[in-house]
Structure 1
Amino acid sequence: MLPFLCALSALMSVPPAALSASPAATLQARYAAQAAREDRAYRGASSERGRRFFLAKHGSDWSCASCHTPDATATGKHAVTGRRLQPLAPSANPARFADAAKAEKWFRRNCRDVLDRECTAAEKVDVIAWLDGLHPGGAR
């Protein structure tokens, strides 16, 4: 019963407008609600913070852009395996963020690789805010 109540509570914390919004906006709203619960000083998403976070080198001297390229509307390549990576920006890859569980899985894995820790909800919401505002051929 407790897992059901937790899931219901999480769903109720998502603003009604987000329920009909794009997958990225829905996920962004969920992480924003989580960030607000974790930090009373949280004041909302910042696409500029998301851009800086994505491009900055962290922990093991990697950045998100190390594999995904500085242009998140472009195809990337994993720095170690050479595997092709689909664009992160939803405008270039509409399937991006469509599956919340998959997005969380990749955030968890990639944040550990880049930061040597998991990303905070605030970091996730900022990165999604930046990615959701990008457009192929004219990144914002």
Structure 2
Amino acid sequence: MKALSLRADYAWDVLAGDKTVEYRSWSTKYRGDLLICATAQKIPETIPGHAIVVVRVKDVKKLGDRQYAWLLDHVRAIEPFPVKGRQRLFNVDDSLIKYHPEVDDENHPSHADAEAFANQYLVPLMY
């Protein structure tokens, strides 16, 4: 799967559904599923150096000279796993990605399901 590294706090915002646009100085023709990986920078209450969520790149809009808005949707929680991030888009083996369908924004997870997922998979890895 194609992957993109973001600062750990921004990756966390994507997982929470609060960040639906990623601004980049470069465009891509890629559309489809994208694994979001948190960079190794240690930011409190995040999971640095891990892949944490899969989203879909719905579209990329040109905003200006070297300014692009990547529109993200369809947030899907995964079991976090360590990833060494890279610049630009990079590939990660699909077999490493374990989805949790009960925590998928299109299935409208309950607060209890989201909290159970967080307590089991996210909280133990938080910095």
Work out whether the TM-score is over 0.5: no
What TM-score, normalized by structure 1, do the two folds share?
0.27
Bigger CA radius of gyration: 1
Structure ranking higher in helix proportion = 1
Which one has the bigger strand percentage? 2
